[in-house]
Amino acid sequence: MSRGFSVFVLGASSCTAKSLYPLLLKKSHLHPLTLSLVARDAKELENAELFIRQLDPSVRVIKSVAAANEDGAIGEAVQRTVTEFGSVDASVNLIGSILLKPAHLTSIEDFRTVWETNVQSSFSMLRHVTKHMMRQPQGGSVVLMSSAVSRHGFANHEAVSAAKGAINSLTLSAASSYAKHKIRVNAVLPGLTFAKMSERLTSNSQALQASIAMHALGKIGTTEDVARSVSFFLDPVESGHVTGQLLAVDGGLGSVKAS
């Protein structure tokens, strides 16, 4: 791929993004790699770029500020990616949230925030990148972030489960819609992972031990575990014949009863 490989990363300052960048940079068949970083905080974007340049000073990086519910800003970031790099070959949405409340204690504002953070951001990225990928002879790859809670009933997860379940359905429908354009759409379904977003759970020893006991493999995942699956789906060589998949990276949390 002498022309290079362009990756659009929504949620580019997340812990999983930081684990993803080294994996992509190691793939020599994707070089020259270009990265379009999008996040809601300009300072965190600067830190993400600095981290990438410490790994590889030669990689081309552009940055755009957009929040999860800002469809117009996300669209502008996608357009800028195509203008600057000539294509958008792969895209991933790494934005997510955790809300542990039963439905009767969840305000409609809480639910709306969870929906916008997870579902709307995914739909916005999907609708904007596919417009460009459909014009590319090579198609492209779209990776969305779901969760193990979308596949099994977990107490106090109603809002998040609803949002992540919607992402599963979105993934399958989009995979069918865009397959004829060589656009692959897949989702990764993590369980609990050690990350900034989950610190309230993982930093509490009692809550952590209870969570570990729910995982059949007896451990909590890492952002590296999740990033390896994202990297696989983004790579047209490794997963060029894979679409419409909901890959659980959850230690068995969503499907296997811990013994």
pLDDT, mean over the chain: 93
Question: How far, in Å, CA of 119 to CA of 163, rounded?
Answer: 6
Of 30, 242, 213, the closest CA to residue 143 belongs to: 242
Phi-psi region of 147 (alpha: psi -120 to 50; beta: other; left: phi over 0): beta
- The confidence band for 255, taking pLDDT boundaries of 50, 70 and 90, is confident
Of 23, 2, 184, 4, the closest CA to residue 82 belongs to: 4
Task: Give the pLDDT score at 3.
Answer: 67
- The confidence band for 238, taking pLDDT boundaries of 50, 70 and 90, is very high
Give yes or no for residue 46 having a pLDDT over 70.
Answer: yes
Give yes or no for residue 173 having a pLDDT over 70.
Answer: yes
% of the chain at pLDDT higher than 70:
97
* Least confident stretch, 60-74, 85-99, 125-139, 143-157: 143-157
Task: Give the pLDDT score at 77.
Answer: 98
| Digit-coded pLDDT (tens) for 122-158 | 999 999 999 999 999 999 999 999 998 888 888 889 9
Instruction: Sketch out the chain's domains with CATH numbers.
Output: 5-249 (3.40.50.720)
Give yes or no for residue 20 having a pLDDT over 80.
Answer: yes
Confirm if 189 and 254 have CB atoms less than 8 A apart: yes
Q: Euclidean distance between the first and final Cα of the chain, in Å?
A: 47
The pLDDT of 96-102, averaged and rounded, is 90
Give yes or no for residue 187 having a pLDDT over 80.
Answer: yes
Task: Give the pLDDT score at 190.
Answer: 94
Question: How far, in Å, CA of 149 to CA of 161, rounded?
Answer: 6
Give yes or no for residue 2 having a pLDDT over 50.
Answer: no
Question: How far, in Å, CA of 166 to CA of 224, rounded?
Answer: 25
Q: Which residue has the tokens 């904007």?
A: 128
Predicted TM-score (pTM) of the model is: 0.93
Beta strands in 99-190 (DSSP E): 140-145, 183-190
Give yes or no for residue 74 having a pLDDT over 70.
Answer: yes
The pLDDT of 158-174, averaged and rounded, is 97
* Least confident stretch, 95-109, 124-138, 206-220: 206-220
Q: Which residues of 217-235 are buried (b: 16+ CB within 10 A; e: fewer)?
A: eeebbbbbbbbebbbbbbb
Task: Give the pLDDT score at 193.
Answer: 79
Task: Give the pLDDT score at 56.
Answer: 96
Give yes or no for residue 219 having a pLDDT over 90.
Answer: no
